Amino acid sequence: MAEYSRKQEALDYHEHPTPGKLAISVTKPFTTYSELSLAYTPGVAEPVKAIRDNPEEAFRYTSKGNLVAVITNGSAVLGLGNTGALAGKPVMEGKAVLFKKFADVNVFDIEVDADDPADFIDTVTRIAPTFGGINLEDIAAPHCFEIEDALIERLDIPVFHDDQHGTAIIVSAGMINALELQGKALADAKIVCLGAGAAGVASMRLIIEMGARLENVFMVDRKGVIHADRDDLNPQKAEFASKTDLRTLDDAMQGADVFVGLSGPDTITADHIRMMADKPVVFALSNPNPEIQPSVAMAARDDLIMATGRSDFPNQVNNVLGFPYIFRGALDVRARRINRQMNVAAVRALSALAREPVPAAVREAHDRDSMSFGPDYIIPSPFDPRLIDFIPPAVAAAAVETGVARTGYPSHYRQPVNKNTSTG
């Protein structure tokens, strides 16, 4: 009965009082005949001519500079699989709400009926002039890699696949902090990643960028450890093909310092947790049901630090900590892309924020009397109002420093987080 009630509550939320979660509002006065003539003909001809003569003027005279397209083909929607493009629309609308509420970024959600990556790429390329950025969402691997790479190459605005890079940024920030609390160095940590899809590949790429060593990273898919003797690997998996005798998940977990699960529910056991090194770090991120329940993991080991993708456990790896603020920083300097250095800057900013004293408003949102950096608080809360002050400035500064920004560092920003912040 409770399950039915929750289902109906969700359906009612999306239906009433108006179907969907988005609307468009007018941002200029529009009450007189004179304002009509400015908003449309003949006045609108002036910005048209200005943009014709200099396309950069679109950022000045239209909403392009604060408008992101959240785009899917519906091939990997949540944990529901290939639902088709139209069924992905509620998720894309939800993403738009998060963009707006957390970072005041406007969004058009766009659902593209295209199974062929070439068709999807062509569609997005043709509509891209409308937007200041493209957020790709819920696109299945391995096509998501091909799509993102092609669009980054073709377009002069940021293209960001959140299922890859958003997850990777939050995982990396949390892992750096957790390892520090456990007294371990990222460069020395043995890391096992169960799941070799978009999120797994991007997370391991970024954690290596932050200082982990490739030879210490063991990626595991349905067929076992990804090793150099396998002949069934796509190019993304091949990046992580270890020269190792390890073949099974059991082999890999023996003595591991870190486990990252981006696979499915109940895929590891208490025995796997007991196989790990002293003071392990466990990120069981399958949603809604993790690779192992926290109660089971903590019963097996009392010296671990654990994160999940759920809000009802400590240390939630939640992409809302990243994408609204990353785009905010990129848009504010009119960036042409979101590059590796901008992702690294976001990791460092998130890691630093978790170490700051926690405001009363955050404690109240979590109904907790005390919260501070430690085993149950390695990642900032999504309710922390300082996210907007930490991440966009860091991302914007990295964009300026790496030459992908069209403008300088915004004068209204706080100074970005020190780029020498420890990475463990």
H or E stretch including 70?
Answer: strand 67-72
223 is catalytic: no
7 is catalytic: no
The percent of the chain in helix, strand and coil, each rounded to the nearest 5, is 45, 10, 45
> How far is the C-alpha of 8 from the C-alpha of 10, rounded, in Å?
5
C-alpha separations of 355 from 158, 178, 349, 358, 418 in Å: 29, 11, 10, 8, 14
Which residues have a Cβ under 8 Å from the Cβ of 414 and sit 6 or more positions away? 389, 393
Selected catalytic residue, list 95, 184, 190, 237: 95
Q: Which amino acid is at 398?
A: A
Selected catalytic residue, list 4, 13, 28, 40: 40
H or E stretch including 392?
Answer: helix 387-401
> How far is the C-alpha of 158 from the C-alpha of 339, rounded, in Å?
9
Residues forming a β-bridge with 281: 258, 305
Token pair 């966009």: residue? 392
> How far is the C-alpha of 148 from the C-alpha of 159, rounded, in Å?
7
Calculate ∠ Cα 164-113-11, nearest 5°: 80
Q: What are phi and psi of 133, to 5 degrees?
A: -165, 160
Calculate ∠ Cα 329-330-336, nearest 5°: 165
Q: Which residues are tagged catalytic? A: 40, 95
